[in-house]
Amino acid sequence: MADINWLNVLFRFMHVTGAIIAVGGAIFASFALLPAVHVIPEESRKHFNEEIRRGFAKLVMISIAFLLISGFYNYMVNELPAHRGQAAYNGLMGVKILLAFGVFFLASAMTGKSPAFEAMRKKRRRWMTVNILLAIAIIAIGAVLRAMPDAGV
């Protein structure tokens, strides 16, 4: 137990928790919540959607903060030194980071109130599906990155 780097544990915990909140929330909303909203009377639906948006927006912002802070730490402190000079590793990590920014953008646009993204929110099902597919791609890339040996091996 004395050899455990508790800061690494904290940041890994933050990263996994942020991913669970963001991806799990999007999957729940897309496959359970959105299909069920039609049973709510039309006059109540707008208020219901606003309450859901307000609550989920806070979770999305927290998860993005967790993912950015922990991802930056994990990459700079643990992964970059271990994989220095490995073009495939660093290239895949770059793709993963770019996809993550896409997920952050879509999640923010879907849970935000900006009129600029109202057209996207009207096609919520489509954009949430895109967001889930991007998140799944990120998870798959992460699995490959985790399996790649360190540069010293």
**Residue 135 belongs to some domain of the structure:** yes
**Residue 4 belongs to some domain of the structure:** no
**Residue 5 belongs to some domain of the structure:** no
pLDDT value for 153: 63
CA angle 39, 43, 48 (to 5 degrees): 65
Task: Count how many domains the chain has.
Answer: 1
Asked whether the CA dihedral 132, 138, 139, 144 is positive or negative, the reply is: positive
Distance separating alpha carbons of residues 85 and 9, to the nearest angstrom: 26
**Residue 126 belongs to some domain of the structure:** yes
Provide DSSP, 55-67. HHHHHHHHHHHHH
List the domain range (segments joined by +) for residue 63. Answer: 13-147
**Residue 43 belongs to some domain of the structure:** yes
Total-model pTM: 0.90
Q: What is the pLDDT of residues 13-22, one digit of tens each?
A: 999 999 999 9
Q: What is the pLDDT of residues 58-88, one digit of tens each?
A: 999 999 999 999 999 999 999 999 999 999 9
**Residue 40 belongs to some domain of the structure:** yes
**Residue 152 belongs to some domain of the structure:** no
